[in-house]
Amino acid sequence: MKLSKIAALFMVPVLALCLVACSAPGGNAGESTSSDPKIAELTAQKPTNADEAAELYAKLMQKENEIFSSDNALWEKVFNAANKDSAMIEDGSNYGDFLLKTIDGAKDEFTADELKTLKAGAQQIKEIEDKLESLEKEFPGCGSTPSAGESVDASTAGMTAGANASSEATKFPSFTGKDLDGNDVNSDELFSKNKVTVMNFWFTTCKPCVGELGDLEDLNKELAKKGGQVVGVNSFTLDGNKGEIADAKDVLSKKGVTYKNIWFKSDSEAGKFTSNLFSFPTTYVIDQNGNIVGDPIVGAISSAEQRAALDKLIDQAIANSEQ
Amino acid sequence: MLFKAVKPVVQVALLIVGITMVCFGVMRGEADAVLAKAIRLCLECIGIG
Amino acid sequence: MDKRENTASHVLVRFRGFIQAAATLVTNIHLPNFAKGGIYQGAGKTVCVPGLNCYSCPAASGACPIGSFQSVVGSSKFNFSYYVTGTLILLGVLLGRFVCGFLCPFGWLQELLHKIPGKKFSTKKLKPLTYIKYVVLLFAVVLLPVLVVNDVGMGDPFFCKYICPQGVLEGAIPLAIANAGIRSALGHLFTWKLAVLIAVVVLSVLFYRPFCKWICPLGAFYALMNKVSLLGIRVDACKCVSCGKCSKVCQMDVDVVRAPNHAECIRCGKCIGACPVDAISYRYGLDVSAEKLPLTADKK
């Protein structure tokens, strides 16, 4: 009996180590795969249950992102044009229609070939959006996060070590949301206007998160000179929960924070990204193209080491943006 | 002894108090606060940092 | 009738190790998360587990009562947690320190460490140290998180942040192994907590359950409830031969015959096994019948 217990005692760490050793994280599990079926095929599919609908929803969203990323620079121009016209997407209208309108409004900025690519893309997005809408109608909630209530791991939370740090750019998932004052925000606009965006994820009852808000406010002022910004995301305020927004605003005003704090739908790609984060505070650095630079800073940036790491990422992001 | 007569009364009373406190706590949103904190890792709070 | 009751008590004691292992497994059921370096984020974490089990452990299936209490109390919204206190009162009345002896993962770990062969020391002369845990409960868990607050009215979870070795063992170490981001966040605080953990581990080899006896605020709360717990230990005065074997075998330094429901008794049942005349057994239920008759027994 005694011996077996001692054996058990030693087995526990051994087992734990085995588990860790076998754990080579799946790296880009969440990233897009190129061998997807055509959009027409996807939009023609008729899911029979909520699971299938959710899968299709995810595939379509991915397709949409692929369209944007395939001609990144062109779309960037479109989004910029959209900003100038200050045309905002209203709830309910088709995003593809909005894009088509914007492209039409700025057609003298593009060559005939470019226009053709953009219009084809926008048309496809329109079809996808139509399908997404009908899916939502038929299976409410199919676009919501499938991982809710499940375990998250480091790789899906975008926290794995340097594997994709320098070689491959990881896009921050695009989103449309609002700041805590109710103004519309969209990711492309948010990122493209600044050479670097420091995105800080926090929540209201996390003392170290609240503790570093003052430092982030200082950082925001510093970055403003370099053409950068700090943006906060309070994970309690996702989906625009009014009570949580009020609490968050209270904390922010007490800490003298003036930089933008935003929320988006938790069933959006960015929402899922945020739900998968589990350690707080976490700070991402994003360049002008909307790409995540390096690995996130986990933990408060108040310590000298963490701050140095953050500054390095910021410089890298500015360099990326100026390329 | 007096204590022996009182003890079961105290036990029942504590059970009732316990249940009442749990219900009251849930009502004023403490359970949600517990969940919100338990599914998010506040690094400094467990001694990382 | 007594005989059958005693048999049940003996069985419970015999399977204690397995019950401890099972309880540890159930409170940490999400084992694959160790490899993934993430934590479970489901609704199960609304509920407090009975033992000291860090909810930052990747595998944890529920919330640590001490951690939950401090996080509720430390937030600017609340100054006291009825939810967690109520849960603890219920557990205290229903089980008392049975939780320490049978259900607490950290208690089990200390026991396993104590099985490592080597010189063992008695803690009988260190009895005053057992009062430290009440101080820890009162200050580190209840008062400081409410009283020492920042400009926004938030307090630190003092016990979790500065004292709890279970948080390092279950939370910080596994997460740091599997997760590079968290690894780079380790600093002085972690070094301190690691030192606490190592100290507790070394002491556990030398002494029996040092953390439970001297530091654990959860044990302190259950200790306060031990006297009114439905689960108790009964000494049959008619059978007792006053041989003193029960007290000799007790590693929590309890004089079993004199005070079977002493605050330090973790209901491990070693005395039940040691008693040569089967005078000691568990009892469960409202304490209506007389049970503590050592003095009358002595007079006989």
Q: Choose the mutation target among A201, A205, A276 for the interface with B, i.e. most B CBs under 10 Å.
A: A205
Computed from CA positions of residues C246, C252, C254, C260, in that sequence, does the dihedral angle turn out positive or negative? negative
Stretch (H or E) spanning A203: none
Computed over every residue of chain A, the mean pLDDT equals 75
Interchain CB contact of C56 with B (< 8 Å): yes
pLDDT of residue A103: 73
Task: Using CB atoms, pick whichever of C45, C77, C193 lies closest to residue B38.
Answer: C45
ipTM > 0.95 (yes/no): no
| Burial of residue C273, with CB atoms counted within 10 A of its CB: 0-12 exposed, 13-18 middle, 19 or more buried | middle
Based on its alpha-carbon atoms, the radius of gyration of chain C, rounded to whole angstroms, reads 20
DSSP label of C63: B
- Tokens at C16, concatenated: 């204690």
pLDDT of residue A303: 85
Separation in Å, CA of A215 to nearest CA in chain C? 15
- Measured CA to CA, the distance from residue A71 to residue A117 in angstroms comes to 9
CB contact (8 A) between residue A208 and residue B45: yes
Average pLDDT, integer, range C279-287: 90
- Measured CA to CA, the distance from residue A265 to residue C47 in angstroms comes to 27
A153 three-class SS: coil
CB contact (8 A) between residue C182 and residue B44: no
pLDDT of residue A25: 37
Average pLDDT, integer, range A6-17: 46
- Tokens at A26, concatenated: 């799946």
Residues whose CB falls within 8 Å of the CB of residue A104, separated by 6 or more in sequence, listed in order? none
pLDDT of residue A125: 75
Residues of C within 8 A of A19 (CB-CB) are 31-32, 34-35
pLDDT of residue A37: 53
pLDDT of residue A142: 62
- Measured CA to CA, the distance from residue C186 to residue C121 in angstroms comes to 35
CB contact (8 A) between residue C154 and residue A295: no
Minimum mean pLDDT range among A17-31, A230-244, C12-26, C129-143: A17-31
Per-residue pLDDT band for A123 (boundaries 50, 70, 90) equals confident
Residue A101, pLDDT above cutoff 60: yes
Residue A111, pLDDT above cutoff 80: no
Residue A254, pLDDT above cutoff 90: yes
pLDDT of residue A85: 47
CA distances from A111 to A116, B23, B30, C57 (A): 9, 67, 60, 57
pLDDT of residue C49: 97
Span A140-160, pLDDT tens digits: 666 554 444 455 555 445 444
Residue C138, pLDDT above cutoff 90: yes
Span A126-140, pLDDT tens digits: 777 777 677 766 766
Separation in Å, CA of C122 to nearest CA in chain B? 31
Residues of C within 8 A of A2 (CB-CB) are 115
Span C72-94, pLDDT tens digits: 998 888 999 999 999 999 999 99
**Would you tell me the crossing angle of helices A95-105 and A112-138 to the nearest 10 degrees?**
160
Chain B residue with the nearest C-alpha to that of A305? B49
Chain C residue with the nearest C-alpha to that of A213? C152
CB contact (8 A) between residue B49 and residue C171: no
Chain C residue with the nearest C-alpha to that of B1? C290
Average pLDDT, integer, range C148-153: 89
Q: Which of C198, C116, C201 is nearest to A6 (CA)?
A: C116
Minimum mean pLDDT range among A32-46, A153-167, C283-297: A153-167
Burial A142-171 (b: 16+ CB within 10 A, else e): bbbbeeeeebbbbbbbbbbeeebeeeeebb
Interchain CB contact of B7 with C (< 8 Å): yes
Residue A23, pLDDT above cutoff 70: no
Separation in Å, CA of B34 to nearest CA in chain C? 6
Residues of B within 8 A of C43 (CB-CB) are 35
pLDDT of residue C13: 94
Residues of B within 8 A of A298 (CB-CB) are 43
Of residues A279 and A57, more confidently modeled: A279
User: Contact partners of A by the rule of 3+ C-beta pairs under 8 A?
Assistant: B, C
A186 three-class SS: strand
CB contact (8 A) between residue C156 and residue B34: no
Stretch (H or E) spanning A210: helix A207-211
